[in-house]
Structure 1
Amino acid sequence: MWTLTDNKDWAAVRRSFSWVRDMEGVPQDPVHHAEGDVAVHTRLVLEALETLPEYRLLGAQERETLWAAALLHDVEKRSTTVIEPDGRVTAQGHARKGALTARSLLYLDQPAPFALREAVVNLVRYHGLPLWAIDKPDPAKAVIGACLVADTRLLSLLARADALGRQCADREDLLYRIGLFDALCQEHDCWGRPYAFATPHARFQYFRKEEAYPGFVPFDEFGSTVVLMSGLPGAGKDTHIARHYRDWPVVSLDDIRRAMKVSPTDKTGNGHAIQAAKEAARSYLRAGRNFVWNATNITRNLRGQLVDLCVTYKAYVRIDYVEVPYVELLAQNAGREAVVPAAAIDRLVQRLEVPAPEEAHEVHYFARNA
């Protein structure tokens, strides 16, 4: 069983993790957090979590996962907190940035199995959703999207502990909102489980169209199949392609850079390399040929641009995400023809966004440390 730490005494936790100590002195808006700074709030959230009957009924691994998420849920208030001109204290974007930090910490510093790490990461990412889901333009889509990567039961428990671990005048309203989130998830068949779409294309189109019904099943009409590789340098993408797509043509950014004699750090040259890669992809797409796009593709934005290009030609898009433990990653990178400096890899880890299921028709995970 994985655990972030065996000693959950607050003093021990504080000694063990510098990022916990970083929470000390980080202010919070007294209207919503009269209890004190982020460290005080986090300690109170952990204490509140332990009192919840539903938490005590969880299996041991689920408790450890949720406890780690509670400890990390506000970790990036340290970098996003701003005192506004009117005196209010805000921390916009702390959940998204906190998710990136949680992934980095649980990959580099406190290695966790892939599935458990991503469970923690996505609980951090969506920990505020139960409070605000009902205010979203499309509440159903908000909870269905979250349920694909986070257990909504655990999200609800984290949100309850978050509400109970603060001093504020609107605590009852917060708890009421969490109750609405629970009901919303139950209504849309995503309470404690991912929503079951009828087909991969139905899921894909639901998240691409603003006004879409999750039960709608679109007609499947595809040209070619495109596999977008995703993974850090040295993760084994070339080996994966050789094993699973031996006879497929490959659009490889590394190969194109080498042919054009472009350094990975040359922004202008890389722009030309990417354009050449896209033109090669278009030639396959126009011909209706299956192919693999081989590049790191570690951010959702970059993957989204490539997916958009492919679906313009009615392609069926699959993302294969490849990962190995950090020590193995460095060793494999050192054996590459084009070695990426370790410092650059660490920076990429900080930016890594593991593909989510709704990004393509299929998303598959090949994690050595799963």
Structure 2
Amino acid sequence: MNKQIDREDLLWTFPGCPTTPGLQINWAVILCQFPCLRSLAKCEQNPLYHAEGNVWIHTQMVCEALVARPAWQAMNVTERSILFAAALFHDIAKPLTTQVAEDGSITAKGHVNLGAQMVRQILADLHTPFTIRETIVAIVRYESLPLWFWDKPQPLRSIVKASQVVRCDWLALMAEADVRGRICVDGTKLLETIEFFREFCQEHDCLDRAYPFSSDHSRFVYFHKEVADPTYAAFDDTRLEVILMCGLPGTGKDYWIDQNHPDLAVISLDRLRQQMGVLPTDPQGTIVQAGRDLAQGYLQSETPFIWNATNIVKPIRSSLIKLFAGYRARIRIVYLEVPLAQVLRQNRDRTAQVPAAVIHRYHDRLEIPDLTECYCLDYS
């Protein structure tokens, strides 16, 4: 998320991040702190792109290349920790995704998305502040963008989107460390591509900040059209606001509504399940349709309301947002998060409990919303 680090988080540091003087990395301490990294030494890579050897060798080289860069050294301690953590874990999922074909070729398809999920859990276990945690996750997810953005169907769209969740200059620095931390035949070309990425982002005013849309409405229109111009100042014709709750069962969505908007109409899928006698483990099609029918009534009468459900994956949110936007609603997403242990404890206190196995499954599938989805996004 490209959100300014909160003042109270500015003293956060990552365990093992080297400090001055010397900036020496103590790999023995890091391996003791994070034993999950040991499997990287057993994971081979395609020698065409990684002649240096296994993933652990590459990871060490990337971290050392990052620490050597003047741009990294000029950062404050928290910013250095963010980039160092991303470098340390950027290939964490390769041992789980690497496959060796019959011809000896090595691939690791899917390691980026799985790695982002794994990094989120590692950092959550360290009680990392939310904004910092999600910034590191975003760097892991978008780290290769500076290398391949120009090959995408819409290069400008790719950097504008990325800039909404993470600083593009940090992505460039991370990508540069990744290239310098490997042995490959195309290293010089890759570094030139990264420099082009920096220049392209600077030209469009989103190198060290989120792309400056003229309004929230213009941003929403841009990301919800296949082809659009980010400079276009869209006329705001919205007629009402809809709040879309997001979070695991037991995170306190009902409590948040009672404390913040007790006056608004609420479409609660939990309440509909109780009324219709449907269990959380039963097929949910009839419940969702009943909720959508209620929503259409509110939308047609221009009555603001809250859609209260888990909404943990983007496809579900996208379907609802498309419905609401079709009636010219401004969509505000409220994402609530508490530690999983607390979720399970609070769920046990609910009148309508959700089976613990279902909560664990939801937790594994969770896709945290970002600003490309809505007009306004609140994290709590």
Q: Which residue of 2 aligns with 1:313?
A: 327
Q: Which residue of 1 aligns with 2:317?
A: 303
Deviations 1:169-224 (A, max 9, x none): 11101111110110111011011111111111100111122221111011111233
The alpha-carbon distance between structure 1 residues 305 and 85, as it changes in their structure 2 partners (threshold 3 A), is farther
Q: Which residue of 2 aligns with 1:186?
A: 202
Inter-partner Cα distance in structure 2 for 1:24 and 1:239 = 47
* Paired residues of 2:253 and 2:308 also in contact (CA < 8 A): yes
Q: Which residue of 1 aligns with 2:185?
A: 169
Counterpart residue identity of residue 267, structure 2:
V
Q: 4+ residue stretches of structure 1 with deviation over 6 A? A: none
Inter-partner Cα distance in structure 1 for 2:30 and 2:291 = 48
Q: Map residues 1-370 of structure 1 onto 2, 5 A cutoff.
A: 1-6=11-16, 8-107=25-124, 109-266=125-282, 268=283, 270-366=284-380
The alpha-carbon distance between structure 1 residues 209 and 84, as it changes in their structure 2 partners (threshold 3 A), is farther
Inter-partner Cα distance in structure 2 for 1:362 and 1:305 = 17
Inter-partner Cα distance in structure 2 for 1:22 and 1:259 = 50
Deviation at 1:140, TM superposition (A): 1.1
* Paired residues of 2:16 and 2:26 also in contact (CA < 8 A): no
Counterpart residue identity of residue 287, structure 1:
S
Counterpart residue identity of residue 295, structure 1:
A
Counterpart residue identity of residue 127, structure 2:
P
Counterpart residue identity of residue 4, structure 1:
F
Deviation at 1:163, TM superposition (A): 0.4
RMSD of Structure 2 on Structure 1 (CA): 1.7
* Paired residues of 2:264 and 2:305 also in contact (CA < 8 A): yes
Deviation at 1:341, TM superposition (A): 4.3
Inter-partner Cα distance in structure 2 for 1:85 and 1:189 = 47
Deviations 1:7-65 (A, max 9, x none): 75222222322321232222211100111121221111111111111111111000001
Deviation at 1:86, TM superposition (A): 4.1
* Paired residues of 2:16 and 2:30 also in contact (CA < 8 A): no
SS of 2:242's equivalent in the other structure is strand
Counterpart residue identity of residue 70, structure 1:
A
Deviations 1:284-334 (A, max 9, x none): 122221111001111112111111111122221111111234444343333
Inter-partner Cα distance in structure 2 for 1:41 and 1:130 = 19
Inter-partner Cα distance in structure 1 for 2:379 and 2:149 = 28
The alpha-carbon distance between structure 1 residues 319 and 356, as it changes in their structure 2 partners (threshold 3 A), is same
* Paired residues of 2:48 and 2:184 also in contact (CA < 8 A): yes
* Paired residues of 1:233 and 1:333 also in contact (CA < 8 A): yes
Inter-partner Cα distance in structure 1 for 2:295 and 2:102 = 50
Deviation at 1:87, TM superposition (A): 3.0
SS of 1:24's equivalent in the other structure is helix
- The normalised TM-score by structure 1 is 0.93
SS of 2:75's equivalent in the other structure is coil
* Paired residues of 1:257 and 1:273 also in contact (CA < 8 A): yes
* Paired residues of 1:228 and 1:317 also in contact (CA < 8 A): yes
Deviations 1:269-295 (A, max 9, x none): x12211211121122122221111001
* Paired residues of 1:130 and 1:181 also in contact (CA < 8 A): yes
* Paired residues of 1:105 and 1:111 also in contact (CA < 8 A): no
Inter-partner Cα distance in structure 2 for 1:85 and 1:310 = 50
- The normalised TM-score by structure 2 is 0.91
Q: Which stretch of structure 1 is more off in the superposition, 228-237 or 11-20?
A: 11-20
Aligned length, in residue pairs: 363
* Consecutive unaligned residues in structure 2, runs of 5 or more: 1-10, 18-24
SS of 2:205's equivalent in the other structure is coil
Identity of aligned residues (%): 43
Inter-partner Cα distance in structure 2 for 1:258 and 1:24 = 52
